[in-house]
Amino acid sequence: MIVILLGAPGSGKGTQSKILAAKYGFTHLATGDIFRAEMAAKTPIGLKASEYVKSGKLVPDNIVVEMVAGRMEPGVNYLLDGFPRNLNQAEELTRILAPQRKTIDKVVLLDLPRAEALKRLTSRRICAKCAEVYNIYTKPPKTDAQCDVCGGDVVQREDDSEATAGKRLMVYEDLTNPLVAYYKAEQILEQVDASQAPDQVTQAVAAIIDAALAVKK
Ligand code: AMP
């Protein structure tokens, strides 16, 4: 199974992907998380990606595609979070999957109005150590600025500042949103209202994955 979660930054892709990957035993492949880990470890990919990630621009396709291709193994189910992010990456993904005789089973769009996405992004905080996600209004850490899970520092992502978050939403609208029509034309797109409570979003996406699994059997 290959399932893609599509949606604006702030739509809950990361949170939902983690829950759903664990529920179904899929491998969660989140390109943003990988870039942040590579940047923290100052690897060659991290150094190349850093200026793009920090300023809210897309990392060049050749870097992302090579990174994803190197991580996708035959016979493994994937939940893709943050990839593909433009039409060229979508075509490259098809090329990566072809030799493995895999196709994309479902693309789930987490639909959220722009203003709500911006609010969620600017109020989001993450643990610098384990990447657990918090929100200053809806899910603050129990102890001030300390991660409930690992005790690490809870900080704002540099690209969640109001200016950069706004830019990321523009990039999403210009480059990623066209994927909605692309996957609709392939008849594999489903849409979920991402303004619902997180549990309801999880249930709605799970129902879509369950239906796709039933078709495969
Ligand atoms: P995310 O955590 O998904 O919001 O991604 C954070 C940042 O990582 C993005 O703003 C981009 O700079 C970079 N990034 C993540 N995934 C991709 C991708 N598929 N293509 C290009 N850049 C990406």
Is residue 119 within 8 A of residue 113, CB to CB? The reply is no
CA quadruple 50, 52, 53, 59: dihedral sign: negative
Query: Which atom of ligand 1 lies closest to the CA of 81?
Result: 3
Listing DSSP states for 131-166 in one string gives --EEETTTB--SBTTB-TTT-PBEE--GGGSHHHHH
% of the chain exceeding 70 in pLDDT:
100
What average pLDDT does this structure show over 174-186? Answer: 97
CATH tag, 2-112+159-216: 3.40.50.300
Q: How many helices (H) and strands (E) does the chain have?
A: 9, 8
Q: How confident is the model at residue 216 (pLDDT cuts 50, 70, 90)?
A: confident
Q: Which residues have C-beta within 8 Å of that of residue 165, sequence separation ≥ 6?
A: 9, 10, 56, 118, 121, 122, 159
What was the pLDDT predicted at 217?
Answer: 78
Q: Which residues have C-beta within 8 Å of that of residue 30, sequence separation ≥ 6?
A: 14, 17, 81, 82
Query: Which atom of ligand 1 lies closest to the CA of 55?
Result: 12
Centre of ligand 1 from the C-alpha of residue 179, in Å: 15
Active site residues: 13, 85, 124, 157, 168
Does residue 54 surpass a pLDDT of 90? yes
Does residue 163 surpass a pLDDT of 90? yes
If one residue of 6, 16, 28, 35 were mutated to test the ligand 1 pocket, choosing by the most ligand atoms within 8 A of its CB, it would be 35
Name which of 81, 126, 122, 117 is nearest 8 in CA terms. Answer: 117
What average pLDDT does this structure show over 158-186? Answer: 97
Q: What is this structure's pTM? A: 0.93
Q: What is the mean pLDDT of the chain?
A: 96
What was the pLDDT predicted at 183?
Answer: 98
